[in-house]
Structure 1
Amino acid sequence: MDRLILQKAASYCAYQERTQDEVKLRLKKWNVWGDEADEIIAELIAMNYLSEERFAKTYAGGKFRIKNWGRMKIRQELSRRGLSKYSIESGMKEIGDVDYVANLKQLLEKKKVALEKTETNQLILKQKLARYALAKGYESELVWKLLEEV
């Protein structure tokens, strides 16, 4: 195993959390594949530079707090990145139920204020708010329940 490549891969992982797939792609760019790539990934995991569970927690928490994404969208993105069910569930635990509902409520109220400037029909306004929240990845039952309150 090439120590220089391992060092480069370690600094690549140290910069921000990565998935194994991202590291594999980077190793391919450096012309490393097959058993050697698997060996490097195993070494990175052993050295604690690479952890899919840690990636899932960071990703889920960040997308929820910064981009206001819902659980469905976050879960879908994590599985698209090839993470295990265990890692995904671990990441989803980063989002508390109380914060989740409060975040959606705040999101809907903010969007409602923006939409009320142009939309006077309450039914259409409600539909637009629901579509917005669903696109963000929130569950439809929760969205409609909160729309009654907003």
Structure 2
Amino acid sequence: MNKKPVYTVEEIKRKMERYCVYQDRCHKEVEDKLREYKLIPQAREAILLHLLEHNFLNEERFAKSFARGKFRIKKWGRIRIVRELKFRHISEYNIKTALKEIDEDTYMNNLYGLAEKKNNLIKDTNNYERKRKLYAYLNYRGYETSLIQEVIETYTK
């Protein structure tokens, strides 16, 4: 029989500290992780409180680093970033703060760069199909419809 090891509250507290130090986490991720340990509600609350008091868990910091990372590395647009943050139960205030991390010029450069790259990969000669595929791709990446249309007009003339 596969028995799970039993940990004390202190041991779990240390594990959660390491979990939060390794990478910024949101409350939802930490709560999901704590659920794995099948703690009583009071112990779970005590650990969460400890993580918050000692700044291991900071929702604003998480939102900012999430937005910066997804924008810079995965080149996601604002809509996708907002959707993902909402999925993680981040407050509207923290979402607004996180979006300020995105530089407007870099945002537009990313959008045009992605559009150019995708446009070169689309094999269709039918102009309508090219526009549809380019739109679908940029929309999936989370860019605003008005900006996508502006970019599509540039690349599919």
Verify same fold: TM over 0.5: yes
Q: Which amino acid is the alignment partner of residue 123 of structure 1?
A: Y
Partner of 1:17: 24
- Residue 33 of structure 1: how far off its partner (Å): 3.9
2:73 partner SS: helix
TM score, norm. by length of structure 1: 0.93
Runs of 4+ in structure 1 displaced over 3 angstroms? none
In structure 2, C-alpha distance between the alignment counterparts of 1:11 and 1:95, rounded to whole Å? 28
Partner of 1:136: 141
Deviations 1:69-124 (A, max 9, x none): 11101100100111111111111111111111110000000001111xx2111222
Deviations 1:52-73 (A, max 9, x none): 1111111111111111111101
In angstroms, what is the RMSD of aligned CA positions? 1.3
Aligned length: 148
Q: Which amino acid is the alignment partner of residue 65 of structure 1?
A: R
Q: Which amino acid is the alignment partner of residue 20 of structure 1?
A: H
**Which segments of 5 or more consecutive residues in structure 2 lack a partner in the other structure?**
1-7
1:67 partner SS: coil
Partner of 1:122: 127
Percent sequence identity over aligned pairs: 39
Q: Which amino acid is the alignment partner of residue 17 of structure 1?
A: D
Deviations 1:3-43 (A, max 9, x none): 22211110111111111111111112112241221221111
- Within the candidate set 104, 114, 120, 1:113 is matched to 120
Partner of 2:108: 101
